[in-house]
Structure 1
């Protein structure tokens, strides 16, 4: 047809946001936070990223071959790489190598391909893998390093390698000297010991806004998230609503008893809230598609995160908040997507 105004067959909407392009932007947006992570905690995070990405790609290839799908086509979309990196950013640099193996099996094989593959998964794969290993192996998931500025002993990369692959630690150093509770762990344990938040926040693992080092990493997640919003990779509604809802909901507890509950700023800049808000809850497949649904979804993530942090057994609740809202997303979409004209 030579008429430029004539209507041809679909598709009529063309976008540069292919899956690969989206994933590349996500990877670029994560780089500043990863660099900060290395600066504060050492190269153990690079090792965990390498392991997680390796196992994610391994299980992706095995799944595609079993399903008789073109391996090259689906591997090149980089979705498995992003899943591996997001998971690695949630775990300790000292986590045993088999943690990534188990987590990526559940993330890629169970949460992704058993549901039909990319675009069909109900739950965020990285959070499924994280939740499985967190519940199953809490001790192995709790071996966190202190930031270099307050660490009593800085482990070399070879010592980290030994710890990850053989669970062998320097013989002349006590285990408690090597590891330290995360700020959220310190808050949880301190409140159980009837310490006040003023006393807890005076401990060296806390900074001006939240957890020492974590406040910088969280700020760089925000920077990466803004980059994704400006590039139209993610919607602004989900991260913005999660941040606002977290502040308002946390403030209701904090105003009631400032020494008994976490401050809104500490909620924002301690733990994985910013990673969850900009890089995990914004997953279009496992989230909501309608604008109103995205806001409801984000409020649910924020509320569940705060409730788990304040009253739950786990120090952080981002993963569980996202997974619970993933489960609710189809119903929320059904109730919030406007009906087409003439539909009953």
Structure 2
């Protein structure tokens, strides 16, 4: 059991984290409209219900904000206007299988990424239907989310920049940026601003010392380096520039809000740095040669498996006299 002071510090850290996602949330709302808030409402309600049910089963009334944090991160990571059952399934899986299956305090995997990955594996089509900028109005959004004879998703959704780049085999990078509506100035259209907003929130958390710099810097530096080494200009077989990979997909959300999760992540500073490096490299490899356009969730879960080994490697070795 943690001391009351430690519990209080954890609660304060989670409160700051919820504050820090606000810039990214506002930019997502500006880009995609009501679907972002609908996701938040569904995810938050589901998290409250699951946590209350588990507390009742266990016969205690201990409360924390970790379930709400996982739900909020999932709501931001899921496509706006995804079906209601997809959001509820992701949050329920995250909390029941990713958190409470292990007692609620010692989960080896990041709960939010457990829920996200399970939904992506089971329902890849709705998980990759991202709306065009500005999305739908409130009524049309509710109709789409709850299946009330709204527009078919294909009528307003489009491929993301990562997906378009992954399947491209004929257009140069310059032609993609000029012709494909998913591309902005240096990365995905809109995702540039989303990633900058999450970067601002992450820097706030670093300034508040909610977590150390090791994991975020390790992830961003390794993603930059490997994308730079594998970058071959603007040809049709190019995998994108380093700035493209830093400012598209879930890069900044992953670097500052996902891999810094304290329970499933590494504990020592050196191990956290190695953890971040591994996530960055795996993210690039999955984006480039995998079957899914963004690889953050799978990269985090694979590195969760490696945490015990990382802690052993990071431990200083005794020097024989």
What TM bracket, shorter-length normalisation?
over 0.9
Give the number of the structure whose alpha-carbon radius of gyration is greater: 1
Q: Which residue of structure 2 lines up, in the alignment, with residue 147 of structure 1?
A: 133
Q: Residue 102 of structure 2 is aligned with which of 84, 97, 115?
A: 115
CA distance in 2, matches of 1:42, 1:257: 33
Q: Which residue of structure 2 lines up, in the alignment, with residue 247 of structure 1?
A: 224
Aligned Cα root-mean-square deviation (Å) = 2.3
Shift of residue 129, structure 1, vs aligned partner: 0.1
Say how many residue pairs are matched.
317
CA distance in 2, matches of 1:33, 1:311: 28
Instruction: Give unmatched runs, 5+ long, in structure 2.
Output: none
Instruction: Give TM-score, length-normalised by structure 1.
Output: 0.87
Shift of residue 21, structure 1, vs aligned partner: 0.6
Q: Are residues 237 and 175 of structure 1, via their aligned partners in 2, closer, same or farther at CA, if it must alter by over 3 Å?
A: closer
Instruction: Give TM-score, length-normalised by structure 2.
Output: 0.93
Shift of residue 165, structure 1, vs aligned partner: 0.7
Is the partner of 1:105 in helix, strand or coil?
Answer: helix
Whether 1:45 aligns to 2:36 is yes
Shift of residue 60, structure 1, vs aligned partner: 1.3
Shift of residue 195, structure 1, vs aligned partner: 2.7
Q: Which residue of structure 2 lines up, in the alignment, with residue 332 of structure 1?
A: 310
Q: Residue 84 of structure 2 is aligned with which of 97, 102, 119?
A: 97
Instruction: Give unmatched runs, 5+ long, in structure 1.
Output: 1-9, 149-153
1:219-275 CA distances to partner (integer Å, 9 max, x unpaired)?
Answer: 010100000001010111111121111010011110477542121111011100110
Paired residues for 1:118-137 under 5 Å: 118=105, 120-137=106-123
Q: Which residue of structure 2 lines up, in the alignment, with residue 5 of structure 1?
A: none
More helix by share: 2
CA distance in 2, matches of 1:24, 1:48: 20
Decide whether the 8 Å contact of 2:91 with 2:115 is kept in 1.
yes
CA distance in 2, matches of 1:84, 1:265: 29
Q: Residue 199 of structure 1 is aligned with which of 170, 175, 185?
A: 175
CA distance in 1, matches of 2:6, 2:56: 30
Shift of residue 196, structure 1, vs aligned partner: 2.5
Q: Which residue of structure 1 lines up, in the alignment, with residue 244 of structure 2?
A: 266
Q: Which residue of structure 2 lines up, in the alignment, with residue 179 of structure 1?
A: 157
Whether 1:22 aligns to 2:13 is yes
CA distance in 1, matches of 2:218, 2:147: 43
Is the partner of 2:127 in helix, strand or coil?
Answer: coil
Shift of residue 167, structure 1, vs aligned partner: 5.5
Decide whether the 8 Å contact of 2:172 with 2:234 is kept in 1.
no
